[in-house]
Structure 1
Amino acid sequence: MKSLYLLSAFLCTQLFSSQVLIHHTTNYFGPNANPVPEFTDALISQNTNVTLIGDYYFGHGDNTFSNNVKVEIPLIPEKVSVKVWKTLIEYYSVTDEIVSRRSMQKNNGFATGDFYIQTRIRILSEKKNSPSLVLNSTLKTASGSDFKNRRFFNTAGYYFDVELGKSFVFDDSFIDEIRLVSDFGFFSWDVQTPNINVQDDAVMYGLKFILKHKNISLENTFSGYGGWIKRVEDYGNKPMVFSSRLNFELRKTLWFLQFQRGIKYFPFEQIRVGVQIPLENLTPKFFDKK
């Protein structure tokens, strides 16, 4: 009986020691796994919008091509909306060093991302001496693929944040409008370990500065989040990013080009191109008096 007990203890020890401790952070996964949440200009659209995005992430040993589709449907125009988005597919190619660092099984391949579902509620309307305030509630599902190659987490997450925005309009000036937006919230996601599941909780934050001239605008955004878990020196659940995005509106359709740089714990640079298409005919008319 004693020999059987010792054998069982040995096997259990070998089982747990052979399991790899996975770091669920942006520093050990692909760029679309748990990125810094994006935030808007603290406004809710009047019409349904579909946004098509193409991304190229490069540098630091990981090259990733991906696309993303976002759909925002206003249930009450400019007051309440539902937004969903997903990385439909990504192609990645990484160096041997990255394979070893992340405990991946191969250097390249395809993966598909998580579904995000968000509700947006306008709490305050913008007035002459007061800003607009929008509350977002977002769920990240554990629907991404290729966890074994560290492309997407196999756990769910969620976040709550508020966007605060105020515009300053100028007459007889090259700059028609300056808009300032801030974002603050709580971000949480599950982290699996060999013995127990825990939750990494983080404070998320962001600042956005928008310059507008007729149908052209330039957005500069600084954002990030900071979690509490720290296993190793470069664990990396405190990513920070900075992005510049140029928007061009043509016949109500918005085209944009963006460059994003990872400042800390987000080892990727990004080039993004996209288009936002309004679909007025697909906008719900729940409160249409007609």
Structure 2
Amino acid sequence: MKFRLLFFTFLFSFLYTSAQDDWGWWNELHGWESGDPGWRNWIKITPGYMGPNALPVPEIKRGFITEETEFQVTASNHFHSGDPTQDISAKLFLPFAKNRIAVEMWGVLFEYFAFSEEIRNERIARNKDGTGVAIGDFYFSTLIQISKDRRFPNTLLRFATKTASGNQLESARYTDSPGYFFDLSFSKDFGQKEATLFRPFGLIGFYSWQTNDELNLQNDAFLYAVGSEIVKNTWLFSGSFSGYSGYKNEHDRPMQLNFEMRKDFENRAVRLKYQHGLHDWKYKTLRVSFIWKFKGIS
């Protein structure tokens, strides 16, 4: 009996020591010592130190709710010399109450990443080889139409919540913390869709997310966007500039250019989108979306 107890005590100690040794490279690289804060406190919860889908700039709304229910599947390729990433995401848009209110739900279903040693060390990640798969955060939002088709510009209020469903915090892919944003978007139509319609639009709002900084557990940001689009029959072409500005100024002020082309058919649509990171979000992203359209709920 004593021999068995001694054997299992030795085995447990060996396994425990081996598990500790697995992180020896990280401890030595970042100077971590026993008694220091846990590794989660070392990860920087900010868009400039995480993957492309961790804290993305929100999609720009155009100031109005469209009439049809849409289900969208998107394949994205994020080009980055040190962190090439591919993912598949899905989104549901559901208008109701005669298109005065709508709800949205979206998130990344699958993400594959393979970052370099330099990126791994910069982000203080604990994924030694830099490769893996992740599941993203789930978002949901409520949209309320304030003004539409009047002399005053189209005006839409959006309130969105980010859950903490994403994994791979140890690889600095997702934040493992909640957040929210709300904004007002505006647009004005000039011309006719059947001929050529020109639509300038803009957005202002507020974005907030939880961090792991014990002195500042929340980062708050001013959210903004400006752009325009041309609509002709079933074609749409759009260009815009968007971003947000966090108050901590720790690579938390992403800016990007957005270019979009969409072709609508009777019950479906196809969209091609390119996003070019300018500041604190250094990805060049190409997205292809397949959209199924249904009649909205009255």
TM-score, with normalisation over the residues of structure 1? Answer: 0.86
Task: Specify the SS of the correspondent of 1:27.
Answer: helix
Which residue of structure 2 aligns with residue 65 of structure 1? 86
Which residue of structure 2 aligns with residue 120 of structure 1? 143
Task: Specify the SS of the correspondent of 1:148.
Answer: helix
The answer as to whether partners of 2:194 and 2:232 remain within 8 angstroms in 1 is: no
Which residue of structure 2 aligns with residue 8 of structure 1? none
2:241 is aligned with 1:222:
yes
Question: Partners of 1:45 and 1:247 in 2: how far apart?
Answer: 14
The answer as to whether partners of 1:47 and 1:77 remain within 8 angstroms in 2 is: no
2:228 is aligned with 1:209:
yes
Structure with the largest fraction of strand: 1
Which residue of structure 1 aligns with residue 265 of structure 2? 250
Which residue of structure 2 aligns with residue 5 of structure 1? none
Which residue of structure 1 aligns with residue 134 of structure 2? 111
Cα deviation, residue 72, structure 1: 1.1
The answer as to whether partners of 2:193 and 2:231 remain within 8 angstroms in 1 is: no
State the AA in 2 paired with 1:188: S
2:213 is aligned with 1:190:
no
Which residue of structure 2 aligns with residue 284 of structure 1? 297
2:175 is aligned with 1:153:
yes
Which residue of structure 2 aligns with residue 10 of structure 1? none
The answer as to whether partners of 2:63 and 2:185 remain within 8 angstroms in 1 is: yes
Which residue of structure 2 aligns with residue 264 of structure 1? 279
* Structure whose CA Rg is larger: 2
1:93-116 deviation line (CA, Å, top 9, x unaligned):
111111111122131110000110
Deviates more, 1:83-92 or 1:243-252: 243-252
State the AA in 2 paired with 1:146: Q
Question: Partners of 1:48 and 1:171 in 2: how far apart?
Answer: 20
Cα deviation, residue 197, structure 1: 5.7
1:207-258 deviation line (CA, Å, top 9, x unaligned):
121012222111101000001113xxxx210000001111111224221111
Select which of 160, 164, 189 maps to 1:142.
164
Task: Specify the SS of the correspondent of 2:119.
Answer: helix
Question: Partners of 2:211 and 2:37 in 1: how far apart?
Answer: 18
What runs of 5+ residues in structure 1 fail to find an aligned partner?
1-12, 286-290
* Identity in percent: 28
Question: Partners of 1:181 and 1:252 in 2: how far apart?
Answer: 26
The answer as to whether partners of 1:49 and 1:72 remain within 8 angstroms in 2 is: yes
The answer as to whether partners of 1:45 and 1:77 remain within 8 angstroms in 2 is: no
Cα deviation, residue 16, structure 1: 2.7
* Cα-Cα RMSD: 1.8
Question: Partners of 2:132 and 2:193 in 1: how far apart?
Answer: 53
1:136-187 deviation line (CA, Å, top 9, x unaligned):
00000111011100110011000110111111005996xx110011000010
Deviates more, 1:26-35 or 1:13-22: 13-22
2:154 is aligned with 1:132:
yes
The answer as to whether partners of 2:79 and 2:284 remain within 8 angstroms in 1 is: yes
What runs of 5+ residues in structure 2 fail to find an aligned partner?
1-32
Task: Specify the SS of the correspondent of 1:178.
Answer: strand
TM-score, with normalisation over the residues of structure 2? Answer: 0.84
